[in-house]
Structure 1
Amino acid sequence: MVETSKLPAEEQQIVAWVEQAIGAVRHIAREGRWRPSWNVDAHCDGRDIALHVRGARQGDWPPMPLSYECEVFRLFERCGVRVPHVHGFIPKLPAIVMDRAAGAPDLSRAASEADREAVRQQLIEQMLLIHRADPEGMARIGAVRPPDDDEAALSYFRLIERLFTENRVAPTPAVEFVRRWINRSIPANPDGVRPITVDAAQFIFEGDQLTAMLDFEFAGLGDYHTDLAALRIRNRAEYIGEIDDLLHAYAAASGVAPDYHRIRFHTAVIAILTPLQVARELATGPQGIDYHEYMVWNAFCVLIALDCISEMQGWDRETFEVPLPSPSRQAIPAQVLAQRLAASGSDDEFSRYQAEKSARVVGYLAKAALYQPQFDTDYLEDCAALLGVRPADWVEADHLLETRICAEDPADDEAFVRLFTRRYLRECFLLADPSDRKNHEQITTRMKPIGGQRAAG
């Protein structure tokens, strides 16, 4: 039994729920990540039970409540998908209590290529189980049914787009441009609606076995090419394999050749979902969010969306050269503070995570002190070339750009893509942390084209 009197209130609620519903709690620890989640060790009837407690995100998103995701887990388990068994839901937190499956993400950690290939084949099988599930089952648990097959292409996007338009507090010209481009570029969907997970291909494995599919908060009904597109984005954070090989494997297993145009389109759509969702938080900085993490997501996701538009249009990509740093009185003190924060000791995983993130924020500010003055000048000059007038500062620039974007002249599309690509290449440079290999690769690696296309530029 754990001593609950010294635990935070949310952990006291978890312990009370588990001990009433499952058995005695022997240990509880919050994970070191941006999202509230805990691992719990319980004991019942002479056996140990490893549990994972998945809390809700902070802020206004996702558009569906956590209780909906709980029902998606249960539905997929009934469909034979390898998901952790759900023991129940804690409404007051809220949180899902499920089995803690063994394994880890990222196939780059696999012991051999044979293990990787075995897990990849199982991933395709699991995705097909989801795509072949009864759409009515998803509708019964609360998934929004699109009004027609073509609108199914954007069913998941519409929910998040509504939150963005209702809650925005400041101009976000790049996000607004991509949003409007998407609405002008919707491809036909002759395949009808199917269950999809949107933020797809999240799984863990052990050896040559895929042990669990995870994270269904965006699951719904739509075009299954959405999940094929998600493979491209997931592969940047957690290695799966060569995307074209995965798409060929899916085609072989399903008997249907994928539509590469729709995959490219949905890659842009999925990429812009996070910037749509974090726009208000980035503009207001509310307490309780991992602001640095949101900045990282926003920067590289906008860049992915822009690169996908270039890929679809056949435009050469913009490139980026690091300028000489500007003299700054703030850079060295910020670097010293970042080093001290990184070296500070913490007793538990979550506290260490918070210290590491604080060090990265200060490291970002130190880098920005050296490069942001030149980047701001470059941005204003880019805006002047497009607008015909030089804005006084970045605030006016964002207002003027968004006004021009709302005119929705397709003749401006390439110029906007090039301007915003340069802007977000600069932002990604500032946010890239060479001391964190995964962070650095995710932010600085450009999206690889699919279907035999080559990235020019």
Structure 2
Amino acid sequence: MSALQHDLPEGTIEWIESVAAGRVESLRRHVARREAWIVDVACDDGSRLEGFLRIQREDGGVDPRRLERETRITQALERCGIPVATVHGWNPELRTTLFARDPGRADIDRLEDPARQRAIMEDFMRVVARMHQLDLDALALDDILGPRPTTPEETALASVDEICSQWSHFLGGYRDPLTTYADAWLRRFVPKEVARVSLVQGDTGPVNFMFQGDRVSAIVDWELGHWGDPMEDLGNILVREFYNPCGGLRGLFELYAREAGIPYSSFAARYYAVHQNFRGMVPIHYVCLNAHPRESIASYLCYRYVGDRATCEMLAQAMQIEVERPEMPEGEGERDILAESAIHAQDADVVPAIEDPFARSRAEAVKTLVACMDRKRRYGKALDAIECEELGALLGRRPDSAAEGLVLLDAAIRAGRFEDESLVRYLTRHAWRDEWLYAPAVALYPERRWSEID
């Protein structure tokens, strides 16, 4: 057998083999935003363990217990009969968990049969309804999830406050009008009533569950799980269906309410869609500005610019503000033969010659980054002029640059000197222009639109 190729911490392979009682036969990096590995083990008893290895490296960053929390929640839910991946083992020293690898699929958005998509989503809503009715004492997770909220404000804002605290080193000096406004908006418009506190996933919905046939076989990715308002998970589903469209959401939230016996609020669902986007976009903005070479920054750029536009549109929906997509600069800008040559070489010569899926994805990312840099060179000045014109109308004077204007607008938002309607309309136009500028990265999730809800 050839030597395993990996950069896992020393002792990881030996730990896997001790947990599985066998020998690791194959190991490959999984293509995903969070580091994971596909592991196959030939067990001593003649069976085969198909594993999915999660790892949280070094000191764990701003959330050092993220993987431990995911592991504990998964174990608790399996005990309660909720479909999740079996945990084979957790190693606190290596910060590594070996999960069972579900043989099903996650790509419900790629199914061509609308009836099957609907059947799977209906089953998923029933699973979520069951999960939200679980006895919290029986889960025995208070030691890792912390105290349960007792007021609507605590329920809605605990995870917002946590994100702001975890990323205070970044947010303290970051001047982004949308981030500042979304934070303030979430605090101004907390839903007034919470039917009950439940275990919520914090990022649930399409592609974060596996399915076999027409049934959900495992809900995955529990690192953001916490005590919260059940409506938060409906907002999560709204967000994830935006990125992974699978037939729309009409009727599904009403089905959930019937199954769970929990009142449904369309405003709360939209509120929590903004809530999830804010919680997710803070670290994504950070990575886009401070990426480690290990990170796939091309995918982060996509999430940032599609996510910013989505947040603006959902803010508008929640407040019943009409917004529209602005006109973009015409023409192709000045060509750059160097950029064109680099893109062609990656596309025609490099990527086709790479067999390893992870290495291929990295090569594709290089092409995307070169294309984004080229578009910034082509259209940057034209977009800057548009931003200065529109910011001047909001601020009362034209800034010398878009960068200066955005800092001034951020200061105005912090001081409360804004009117929601005109601000949301500007932020939406600004987000559309950014998404258009970074079109090569955004191609990962092109032309995404919010689904209508009950």
Could you tell me the TM-score, scaled by structure 1's length?
0.90
Match of 1:222 in 2: 228
Match of 2:190 in 1: 186
Cα drift, residue 167 of structure 1: 2.7
Structure 1 pair 96/119, CA: closer, same or farther in 2 (3 Å)?
Answer: same
The answer to whether the Cα contact below 8 Å between 1:164 and 1:279 also exists between their aligned partners in 2 is no
Answering whether residue 397 of structure 2 is matched by residue 389 of structure 1, we say yes
Inter-partner Cα distance in structure 2 for 1:248 and 1:106:
24
Match of 1:3 in 2: 3
Inter-partner Cα distance in structure 2 for 1:244 and 1:92:
46
**Paired residues for 1:2-401 under 5 Å:** 3-4=3-4, 7-10=5-8, 13-22=11-20, 23-44=22-43, 45-56=45-56, 60=61, 64-110=65-111, 112-136=113-137, 137=139, 139-150=141-152, 151-168=154-171, 169-201=173-205, 202-325=208-331, 327-330=333-336, 332-343=337-348, 344=350, 345-401=353-409
The answer to whether the Cα contact below 8 Å between 1:41 and 1:51 also exists between their aligned partners in 2 is yes
The one-letter amino acid paired with 1:349 is P
39-48 or 277-286: which moved more?
Answer: 277-286
Inter-partner Cα distance in structure 1 for 2:369 and 2:438:
9
The answer to whether the Cα contact below 8 Å between 1:10 and 1:93 also exists between their aligned partners in 2 is no
Residue by residue over 1:314-373, the C-alpha shift from the partner in whole angstroms, topping out at 9 and shown as x without a partner, is 11113122321363253x421321222233122311111110111111122222222222
Inter-partner Cα distance in structure 1 for 2:448 and 2:191:
27
Cα drift, residue 241 of structure 1: 3.0
Residue by residue over 1:350-401, the C-alpha shift from the partner in whole angstroms, topping out at 9 and shown as x without a partner, is 1111101111111222222222221111111111111112222233222211
Structure 1 pair 158/134, CA: closer, same or farther in 2 (3 Å)?
Answer: farther
SS of the aligned residue for 1:243 comes to coil
Inter-partner Cα distance in structure 2 for 1:90 and 1:283:
32
Cα drift, residue 172 of structure 1: 1.5
427-436 or 313-322: which moved more?
Answer: 427-436
Inter-partner Cα distance in structure 2 for 1:353 and 1:111:
25
SS of the aligned residue for 2:419 comes to helix
Structure 1 pair 198/34, CA: closer, same or farther in 2 (3 Å)?
Answer: closer
Inter-partner Cα distance in structure 1 for 2:261 and 2:413:
42
Answering whether residue 409 of structure 2 is matched by residue 408 of structure 1, we say no
Inter-partner Cα distance in structure 1 for 2:335 and 2:439:
22
254-263 or 346-355: which moved more?
Answer: 254-263
Structure 1 pair 208/190, CA: closer, same or farther in 2 (3 Å)?
Answer: closer
Cα drift, residue 434 of structure 1: 9.3
Match of 2:448 among 445, 450, 457: 445
Residue by residue over 1:1-44, the C-alpha shift from the partner in whole angstroms, topping out at 9 and shown as x without a partner, is 6524xx33307643211112211111111112332111111011
The answer to whether the Cα contact below 8 Å between 2:199 and 2:225 also exists between their aligned partners in 1 is yes
The answer to whether the Cα contact below 8 Å between 2:31 and 2:357 also exists between their aligned partners in 1 is yes
The answer to whether the Cα contact below 8 Å between 2:114 and 2:247 also exists between their aligned partners in 1 is no
Match of 1:454 in 2: none
Match of 1:423 among 404, 426, 430: 430
Cα drift, residue 408 of structure 1: 1.8
SS of the aligned residue for 1:309 comes to helix
Across the two proteins, how many residue pairs are aligned to each other?
443
Q: Which runs of 5+ in 2 are unaligned?
A: none
SS of the aligned residue for 2:37 comes to strand
Cα drift, residue 414 of structure 1: 1.7
The answer to whether the Cα contact below 8 Å between 1:326 and 1:374 also exists between their aligned partners in 2 is no
The one-letter amino acid paired with 2:431 is Y
The one-letter amino acid paired with 2:436 is F
The answer to whether the Cα contact below 8 Å between 1:134 and 1:195 also exists between their aligned partners in 2 is no
SS of the aligned residue for 2:323 comes to coil
SS of the aligned residue for 1:81 comes to coil
Residue by residue over 1:288-326, the C-alpha shift from the partner in whole angstroms, topping out at 9 and shown as x without a partner, is 322222222121222222111211221111312232136
37-46 or 287-296: which moved more?
Answer: 287-296
Structure 1 pair 111/174, CA: closer, same or farther in 2 (3 Å)?
Answer: closer
122-131 or 213-222: which moved more?
Answer: 122-131
Q: How much is the aligned-residue C-alpha RMSD, in angstroms? A: 2.3
Inter-partner Cα distance in structure 1 for 2:232 and 2:160:
11
Cα drift, residue 63 of structure 1: 7.1
